[in-house]
Chains A and B, each alone.
Chain A
Amino acid sequence: MAKIHVKMTVNGREVEGLAEPRTLLIHFLREDLGITGPHIGCDTSHCGACTVDLDGKSVKSCTVFVGQAEGADVTTIEGIAAADGTLHPLQEAFREHHGLQCGFCTPGMITRAHRLLQENPNPSDAEIRMGISGNLCRCTGYQNIVKAIRVAADEINSAREAAE
């Protein structure tokens, strides 16, 4: 099958490659770029394990053709920590508050939470639950995930206030 040439920015780095037009973004990320943080859990866009950030929106990268990401700015779990390796408050909070078990949904969950806190920096528990309802977890029962996101939000907000 004829291939298309795609270019995009992934985790701050410009990348390009040749791919069949039908290639899904998740496969391009995982198999062509070796970015294996986002996972594949289902084939019906329900589980959210493949969630990445695309031009400021959370998307399920199993439902995006690679061509649709042409020129886009993509962030995956690998791009959430600071450049110097300092973990993001969400990453710290998920560990501190036991917001993960098998870890398979975690990259998508944190990537989604990362965008959620930009959409709504001070969400209530109900808003957090609604905000991550596109991401399924089978291990934690969500309770500690909600807690971790709330703690991370508080921390980010306090740091912001301190800086202002």
Chain B
Amino acid sequence: MNEQSTPTSAERVEKLQGLGSSRKRVEDVRFTQGKGNYVDDIKLPGMLFGDFVRSPYGHARVKKIDAEAALAAPGVLAVITAEDLKPLNLHYMPTLAGDVQAVLADEKVLFQNQEVAFVVAEDRYAAADGVELVEVEYEGLPVVVDAFKAMDDDAPVLREDLEGKTEGAHGPRKHHNHIFHWEVGDQAGTEKALEEADVVVEELITYPRSHPSPIETCGCVASMDKVNGKLTIWGTFQAPHAVRTVASLITNIAEHNIRIVSPDIGGGFGNKVGVYPGYICAAVASIVTGQPVKWIEDKIENLTATAFARDYHMTGKIGATKDGRITALSCNVLADHGAFDACADPTKFPAGFFSICTGSYDIPIAYAGVDGVYTNKAPGGVAYRCSFRVTEAAYMIERMVDVLARKLDMDPAELRTKNLIKKEQFPYTSALGWEYDSGDYQTAMTKALETVGYTALREEQAANRKAFEAGETRSLMGIGVAFFTEIVGAGPVKNCDILGLGMFDSCEIRIHPTGSAIARLGTISQGQGHATTFAQILASEIGIPAEDITIEEGDTDTAPYGLGTYGSRSTPVAGAATAMAGRKIRAKAQMIAAYLLEVHDNDLEWDIDRFQVKGNPERSKTMKEIAFASYNQAIPGLEPGLEAVSYYDPPNMTYPYGAYICVLDVDVDTGVIDVRRFYALDDCGTRINPMIIEGQVHGGLTEALAISMGQEITYDETGNVHGGSLLDFFLPTAVETPVWETDHTETPSPHHPIGAKGVGESPNVGGVPAFSNAVNDAFAHFGLTHTGMPHDHWRVWKTAQGLGLTG
């Protein structure tokens, strides 16, 4: 071999584009040319189109459905109602939370825009015409939209189908509109500690109802092949394998005769985890007509019928010593789940991982109790760019810590630093039972405060307050600090399942003879760049350049079983499976190399992309050479080929964390907020692709901006939904979005094969309280303890007016 052409170790590592490389995304070649393949791009011969008749009422009896005029309209082929689904037992479907949800309204409707009938027509225009022509006679019923009134003795019975059922999926129901009570921690001990505390603060913190609102709405194409009896559904599924199993269980079609395919997905953010009536209706329509049926919801349907998020009313109570040591936390939550309990949580966690609400602090004793109630609102309760109910928990604790800081007249950053879990306490078991895997919180906090020049910012704020007093400015400066801990990567099968399906994930690798590879996973990308990053993990494990590795996900006929992508679980779970499968490949490769080099396999060592003889690195076999050998050598005791599969059951969750600081200016006369600076330090453990991490942080922060500054879906007293279109549901444009500053520390997870923790949802979890704390901080010196989200101009102006600051 020509010595000059031998690449150095550094060059070989570089060529792999493995862990830590800001590799450019392979997905983008298609997407930048309009060659993505999203569900609405699918067009099959003879394909029909389905559209819903939806309820204008929030609560009403369905007296009569007359489809005659619709059926007479050109192009309309069928109108499906609950009556048609009943013989198939498909008028209700199981939800992910152990409840049932009406596929089509069964005698009554429970929220505005609920699905009442499904019109099947030759194209989307004819279907829309048909929808207009279906006559439905309703009889209005009293409406409950206020979660606090849902459990009044005289509150109307919403779920008549559950009448007399005193036991729900999560224990006893204490009222006809009650879903569950869930609690964790030492209630009596916490109350005692609160009584004994020097200082106690209590506040009702409401996290308003919002919606993930990806630009692409939900939809599917269902195609029943009557010749071979196979049902294929292409759709916007964040968990395709779970959808297949659920579809099999509810339709009684054998699971091998169902194929679920998630094509490219135009953003998910939790919206596309659940199973929606449209999927069932499209499948039924295809079975009935024998033709493929497409259903694509429009944006208004998306915002008002599929998968809201939040709607948590949290009463937090913190006790502390005079010098600011937190001694106890309790939190009681009223959770508004809407008309059906369709939360997407692991089965044993009806309030998700809300019990991460002790946050980043060493709190000796705590209690959390959550009561879920039914209201006449859309079902959902999904984790919108966060792990299950983690953003709610982080918002509560981070607001409460600020409230406590005011009470103690202490700087909020100082109070946080004083109570942070210390590096030497990891692995740390929280008062509510979570084992935090790793962290160095003090370092992150110090770095954040120093980078933004926190002391100088507080001095500037003091000057601003003086100037405001003196009438020299009408603008108030606010500084928001948040230190959050996420809990992601669900999860260990021993306590995490969805409908009985353990939340492991999987990777299957096949090395081709010429040394390239394909890997298939149980997850599905919705913008996270899996085709890029999973190939990087593998490149570092098996020494094949990332560009020579194809990543495939989302087709249940080819991919190994996994629970999908949400709750930042892809990297912690499927990423671990990828590394483990890679290690199996490497173990076999070592045997092959030993045979080829005629040495004992223990005499070999791995070096970047090859096995070499210990002490004699000149004698080596690259993975490429080994791959070819695996296909053409008869090696005693070894099967031909080079493939591996790994199903990874994580031993624990991962706990990404971060320190965020927001600086903004509030114009008290208009309520307009100018975000001057936003600094985000994230620690997501080992960093696979810094470019992609940074991009995810930018996106998550922008969603946090949207939530904290404007997003809200409300209902009026008659059950009309407000905020149900982009006319009034806030999605920030490039103009409202500030420039983000990102930073990091890197504390690997000790239990993850490559130490990665997941990052996509951290910026939402940390961003929301940072923004809200900054707005509250702007007014803090006027005695304001808490003003709730969203901090839109009107509310901010109202706050200023309430404090007597407006002109």
Any A CB within 8 A of the CB of B714 = no
- Say whether B528 contacts A41, CB under 8 Å: no
Extra inter-chain contacts (19) besides given A95-B25, A143-B740, CB under 8 Å: A1-B74, A20-B125, A30-B41, A31-B43, A31-B123, A37-B35, A41-B266, A43-B725, A44-B725, A47-B299, A80-B33, A101-B527, A102-B264, A103-B266, A104-B264, A106-B32, A141-B740, A142-B734, A144-B698
| B contact residues around A43 at 8 Å (CB) | 298-300, 725
Pick the 10 closest A-B CB pairs, nearest first.
Answer: A37-B34, A104-B266, A102-B527, A103-B31, A141-B698, A77-B34, A141-B702, A101-B527, A46-B726, A42-B299
Within 8 A of A (CB), among B513-537: 526-529
0/1 per residue, A141-154, Cβ < 8 Å to B?
11111100000000
0/1 per residue, B207-244, Cβ < 8 Å to A?
00000011111000000000000000000000000000
Q: Which of A39, A40, A133 contacts B733 (CB 8 A)?
A: A133
Any B CB within 8 A of the CB of A87 = yes
Any A CB within 8 A of the CB of B250 = no
Given A1-B74, A138-B267, A100-B31 contact (CB < 8 Å): yes
In the assembled complex, the Cα of A141 lies from the Cα of B700 at a distance in Å of: 8
Any A CB within 8 A of the CB of B701 = yes
Given A96-B24, A102-B216, A104-B38, A142-B737 contact (CB < 8 Å): yes
Within 8 A of A (CB), among B14-29: 24-25, 27-29
0/1 per residue, A102-118, Cβ < 8 Å to B?
11111100100000000
- Say whether B731 contacts A138, CB under 8 Å: yes
Find the B residue at minimum CB distance from A110. B32
- Say whether B739 contacts A94, CB under 8 Å: no
Within 8 A of A (CB), among B33-84: 33-36, 38, 40-41, 43, 74
Find the B residue at minimum CB distance from A38. B34
| A contact residues around B269 at 8 Å (CB) | 138
- Say whether A140 contacts B32, CB under 8 Å: no
Any B CB within 8 A of the CB of A137 = yes
- Say whether B214 contacts A102, CB under 8 Å: yes
Any B CB within 8 A of the CB of A13 = no
- Tell me whether chain B's interface is mostly helix, strand or loop, or mixed: loop
Within 8 A of B (CB), among A56-94: 76-78, 80-81, 87, 91, 94
Interface centre among A134, A137, A142 (most CB of B within 10 A): A142
| B contact residues around A107 at 8 Å (CB) | 31, 34
- Say whether A102 contacts B526, CB under 8 Å: yes
- Can you show 27 pairs from A to B with CB atoms below 8 A apart? A1-B74, A30-B40, A30-B41, A31-B43, A37-B35, A39-B40, A41-B299, A42-B725, A42-B726, A46-B731, A49-B216, A76-B34, A87-B32, A94-B28, A98-B692, A100-B28, A102-B264, A102-B266, A102-B267, A104-B266, A105-B215, A105-B266, A132-B734, A136-B733, A142-B737, A143-B737, A146-B734
| A contact residues around B737 at 8 Å (CB) | 129, 141-143
0/1 per residue, B278-310, Cβ < 8 Å to A?
000000000000000000101110000000000
Any B CB within 8 A of the CB of A10 = no
Q: Which of B33, B526, B733 contacts A87 (CB 8 A)?
A: B33
CB distance from B730 to the nearest CB of A (A): 11
Any A CB within 8 A of the CB of B727 = yes
In the assembled complex, the Cα of A91 lies from the Cα of B299 at a distance in Å of: 28
Any A CB within 8 A of the CB of B124 = yes
| B contact residues around A40 at 8 Å (CB) | 40, 296
Any A CB within 8 A of the CB of B311 = no
| B contact residues around A35 at 8 Å (CB) | 34
Any B CB within 8 A of the CB of A5 = no
- Say whether B217 contacts A41, CB under 8 Å: yes
Q: Which of B28, B38, B299 contacts A44 (CB 8 A)?
A: B299
In the assembled complex, the Cα of A34 lies from the Cα of B44 at a distance in Å of: 12
Given A39-B266, A43-B725, A95-B24, A139-B527 contact (CB < 8 Å): yes
